[in-house]
Amino acid sequence: MTETEELREWDRRYFWHPFTQMQCYGDDDPWIIERAEGNYVYDTEGHRCLDAIASLWCNIHGHRHPRLDAALIAQIGKVAHSTALGASNPPAIHLAKALVEITPASLQHCFFSEDGSEAVEVAIKMAAQYWCNLGRPEKHLFLTLDNAYHGDTVGAVSVGGFPLFHAVYGHLLFPTLRLPSPYVLQWEDCEGDPLQATTAWLATLESTLQDQGSEIAALILEGGVQGAAGILPFPPGILAGAQRLCRAYEVLLIIDEVATGFGRSGKLFSCEWESVEPDLLALGKGLSGGYLPLAATLAAEHVYAAFLAPFGETRQFYYGHTYTANPLACAVALENLALFAEGAVLAALPGKIAQLRAGLQRFHGRSWAGEVRQFGMMAAIALRDPRTNAPYPYADRVEYAVCRRAREMGVYSRPLGDLLTIVPPLSVTAAEIDIILNTLYDAMAEGRS
């Protein structure tokens, strides 16, 4: 038995994988990534694949970036971890300051956590306690969207809208109010007209706030696109209009930029496109450049101030985990921000986004392709059965077979329902964008039978 065969056997036997039906996992030889370099990952047998999903939408500058590696090595020579409960560390202090300086001006304080779901969980709890601290506990409801995805912890699932993932946990969740998905509203009710869709959605939001604003703690929205729902972009004006109405009706605005933050939209933060300054902002994924688990929730001054009081009044935010503000993760994140500050990463994005948009055109009208959607450096292509013009049966796992074929051809992707996604590192080159598009085109075309 080779080392790879032994690892595969142990992988099947001991490792329970996320979002994975383990009974099927053994049907194929598990793919084991041993190392990576630049925009490529390598398995234990030396097979190289272009990382078309940025290791689940988090890698920014490529793998083994020399400056990020050096930041990690330098910090590990000092301290790997120390608690942030009643103590601090230099990388976390510098990173909190840096994040306040680069995020929208409303945000003045930074609370660290370990992943995007937790960053949202923090925002939810801050919003709930904010109103309690102000003596208004009746403002306890959260307003969210159909098709929303904010993570997999209980609070994040409560404000999500993914029955496939989360229906089984319904009895654990707190009740929420829901608005229609702006994208679905645009294309199902407004004949694709973005202005009409934005007007209709904002009217629905205002009606809800008029009726129940006195009970609503916060509205939570993803940063301009519903990512896990299948890359469903908002029509222009949704975020700015939501901010205006939330201010008018005394409702906090939470923006979840876990997926869209750090350049994915074409700007450092998606909020910038409409000059939105939320009360709470959730960040994750790209915060550490895709190196280590790290997330942050940024809060406006008035939110933070509501937690300040004499110690005995117990208004402090009773939340935190063992690895909150881990020095290793914060040190790498600081160097990630330094790379962004130099300007070249963001300056290159318009050309890459335009190239991706142009390359997606060839998928339109194919008998084996459905909708094609893009938001900045995120894209999704629906796989269709040409015999029925409908998605393949979920149980047939055709999308997985297509991704496996693409991997054999040198591109690492994974399905999202009936979609194939393209969310590469921002360091992807023009030639590599073409490789991704051509490979997925060929793999999908082969899979049509």
Judgement on whether residues 243 and 386 belong to the same structural domain of the protein: no
Domain coverage including residue 325 = 70-342
Query: For residue 389, is it within any domain?
Result: yes
Q: Is 139 one of the annotated binding-site residues?
A: no
Give pLDDT, residue 25: 86
> What percent of the chain lies above the pLDDT cut of 90?
93
Spatial separation of the C-alpha atoms in residues 426 and 55, rounded to whole Å: 12
CA dihedral over 427, 432, 437, 440, signed as positive or negative: negative
Judgement on whether residues 183 and 202 belong to the same structural domain of the protein: yes
Domain boundary among 320, 342, 364: 342
How large is the average pLDDT for residues 70-85? 97
How large is the average pLDDT for residues 375-389? 95
Q: Is 321 one of the annotated binding-site residues?
A: yes
How large is the average pLDDT for residues 50-63? 98
Q: What is the pLDDT of residues 325-342, one digit of tens each?
A: 999 999 999 999 999 999
Domain boundary among 342, 373, 391: 342
Judgement on whether residues 312 and 385 belong to the same structural domain of the protein: no
Domain count, the chain: 2
**CATH code of the domain covering residue 303:** 3.40.640.10
Spatial separation of the C-alpha atoms in residues 133 and 389, rounded to whole Å: 54
Token pair for 238:
């949704």
Spatial separation of the C-alpha atoms in residues 150 and 211, rounded to whole Å: 25
Query: For residue 24, is it within any domain?
Result: no
Quote the mean pLDDT of the chain.
96
Query: For residue 4, is it within any domain?
Result: no
Judgement on whether residues 47 and 184 belong to the same structural domain of the protein: no
Spatial separation of the C-alpha atoms in residues 305 and 277, rounded to whole Å: 17
Spatial separation of the C-alpha atoms in residues 19 and 10, rounded to whole Å: 19
Spatial separation of the C-alpha atoms in residues 258 and 151, rounded to whole Å: 9
CA distances from 405 to 23, 231, 397 (A): 21, 23, 13
Judgement on whether residues 364 and 240 belong to the same structural domain of the protein: no
Query: For residue 8, is it within any domain?
Result: no
Least confident of 27-36, 319-328, 399-408: 27-36
Q: What is the pLDDT of residues 411-439, one digit of tens each?
A: 999 999 999 999 999 999 999 999 999 99
Token pair for 234:
């908002």
Judgement on whether residues 364 and 383 belong to the same structural domain of the protein: yes
Give pLDDT, residue 1: 87
443, pLDDT greater than 50: yes
Confidence class of residue 252 from pLDDT cuts 50, 70 and 90? very high
Q: What is the pLDDT of residues 171-230, one digit of tens each?
A: 999 999 999 999 999 999 999 999 999 999 999 999 999 999 999 999 999 999 999 999
**CATH code of the domain covering residue 365:** 3.90.1150.10
How large is the average pLDDT for residues 22-30? 81
Q: Which residues contact 412 (CB under 8 A, 6 or more apart)?
A: 41, 49, 50, 51, 52, 53, 406
Q: Is 324 one of the annotated binding-site residues?
A: no
> Residue 299 forms beta bridges with which residues?
109, 280
Q: What is the pLDDT of residues 347-363, one digit of tens each?
A: 999 999 999 999 999 99
> What percent of the chain lies above the pLDDT cut of 70?
99
How large is the average pLDDT for residues 2-7? 92
272, pLDDT greater than 70: yes
Query: For residue 11, is it within any domain?
Result: no
50, pLDDT greater than 90: yes
Q: What is the pLDDT of residues 83-136, one digit of tens each?
A: 999 999 999 999 999 999 999 999 999 999 999 999 999 999 999 999 999 999
Q: What is the pLDDT of residues 129-168, one digit of tens each?
A: 999 999 999 999 999 999 999 999 999 999 998 887 788 9
Q: Is 414 one of the annotated binding-site residues?
A: yes
Confidence class of residue 449 from pLDDT cuts 50, 70 and 90? very low
Judgement on whether residues 333 and 355 belong to the same structural domain of the protein: no
Query: For residue 287, is it within any domain?
Result: yes
Query: For residue 17, is it within any domain?
Result: no
Q: Is 429 one of the annotated binding-site residues?
A: no
Q: Is 322 one of the annotated binding-site residues?
A: yes
Q: Among the residues of 134-193, which ranges form H helices?
A: 154-158, 163-166, 182-184
Per-residue DSSP letters for 429-445? -HHHHHHHHHHHHHHHH
Judgement on whether residues 266 and 408 belong to the same structural domain of the protein: no
Judgement on whether residues 304 and 222 belong to the same structural domain of the protein: yes
Is residue 320 classed exposed, middle or buried when 0-12, 13-18 and 19+ CB atoms within 10 A define those classes?
middle
Domain boundary among 342, 363, 393: 342
Judgement on whether residues 424 and 327 belong to the same structural domain of the protein: no
Judgement on whether residues 95 and 206 belong to the same structural domain of the protein: yes
Judgement on whether residues 402 and 330 belong to the same structural domain of the protein: no
Query: For residue 26, is it within any domain?
Result: no
